[in-house]
A and B are shown apart, each in its own frame.
Chain A
Amino acid sequence: MPVRVLENTAAPSSQVSGANSGRSSCQSCSLLGVGQAFSGTQNVSSVQKDEAWRVNVRIQGCDLEHGYLCGTMEALNVPMADTPVVTFWEGEIVDTKNYTFFTGKWEASPEDDIRHWSKFPSFSPLLGQVEADGGKSLDLSNYPYIFMRWKEQYFVNVGTDCGLTIAGFYYICFSCSDGSISGFYYDPNSSPYQKLELKSTNDGRSGFSFSSYQLQ
Chain B
Amino acid sequence: MPTPSASSDPILDRLASSDCAVKFKAIREVKNHIIGNRTKKHSYIKLGAVPAVAAALADSDPNLIVQSAAALGSFACGVDDGVRAVLDAGAFPRLIGLLSAHDEKVVDAAARSLRMIYQSTLAPKYDFFQEETMQFLLSLLESENENLTGLGAGIVIHSCKTIGEQTILCHAGVLEKLTSLLDSSLSQRDASLESLAAIIRDNPAAVSEFVELHGGRALHSVAELTKDRYPRTRLLACLCLISVKNSSTCYLQDIGIKTKLVYILLELLDDSGQVGDEASFAFSSLIAEKEDLQKLAFEANAINKFNCLLQKHPVQPKRLEGVFLALADLCSKLECCRSSFLSLQVLNLVVDALTHEDASVRTAACICLRSVSRSIKNLSAGRFMNERVVCPLVQLLSDLSTSVQVAALGAISNIVVDFMPHKSTFIECGGIKELVQLTKSMDSSLRLNAVWALRNMVFLADKICKEGIFVELTASSMASLICDPEPSVQEQALALVRNFVDGCVYSVEHAFAEDGIILDAVGRQLKKSTKIEIGIQGMYVLSNIASGNEFHKEAVMQLLFPQDENVSHSFFEQFLQSHDSRLRTAAVWVVVNLTFPANPGAFGRIVNLRSFGIVSRIKKMVNDSCMDVKLRARLALGQILTFGDS
Contacts and interface: CB of A to CB of B under 8 A. Distances in A.
Interface of A: 15, 27-30, 35, 58, 60-61, 70, 72, 88, 90, 141-144, 153-154, 156, 176-177, 202-216
Given A72-B419, A156-B381, A202-B547, A211 B628 contact: no
A204 B627 contact: no
B134 to A, nearest CB: 44
A88 B383 CA distance: 13
A141 B626 CA distance: 9
Contacts of B582: 28
Given A204-B505, A205-B548, A208-B592, A213 B459 contact: yes
Given A58-B419, A88-B377, A27 B627 contact: yes
Nearest to A153: B377
A63 B505 CA distance: 29
B414 interface: yes
A186 B596 CA distance: 38
A72 B376 CA distance: 11
B546 interface: yes
B495 A70 contact: no
B543 interface: yes
9 contacts: A29-B627, A60-B380, A72-B419, A88-B380, A156-B381, A205-B505, A211-B460, A211-B503, A213-B456
B585 A30 contact: yes
B632 interface: yes
Interface of B: 335-336, 370, 373-374, 376-377, 379-381, 410-411, 413-414, 417, 419, 449, 452, 455-456, 459-460, 495, 498-499, 501-505, 540, 543-544, 546-549, 553, 582, 585-586, 589, 592-593, 596, 598-599, 626-628, 631-632, 634-635
Return the 5 tightest CB-CB contacts between A and B, nearest first: A207-B547, A207-B593, A61-B376, A213-B459, A205-B547
B318 to A, nearest CB: 25
A207 B419 contact: no
Contact of B627 (A58, A176, A203, A216): A176
A131 B373 CA distance: 41
A214 B499 CA distance: 12
B628 A30 contact: yes
B543 A208 contact: yes
Contact of A213 (B455, B598, B631): B455
B459 A72 contact: no
B452 A214 contact: yes
Contacts of B503: 203, 209, 211
B377 A70 contact: yes
A208 B543 CA distance: 8
Contacts of A61: 376
B495 A210 contact: no
B413 A35 contact: no
A56 B631 CA distance: 24
B447 to A, nearest CB: 15
Contacts of A210: 498, 502, 540, 543-544, 589
A130 to B, nearest CB: 20
B495 A207 contact: no
Contacts of B452: 214, 216
A26 to B, nearest CB: 10
Contact of B628 (A28, A203, A212, A214): A28
B627 A144 contact: yes
Nearest to B413: A216
B547 A209 contact: yes
Nearest to B546: A207
A212 B543 CA distance: 13
A29 B626 CA distance: 10
> Which of B585, B628, B634 has the most CB atoms of chain A within a 10 A radius of its CB?
B628
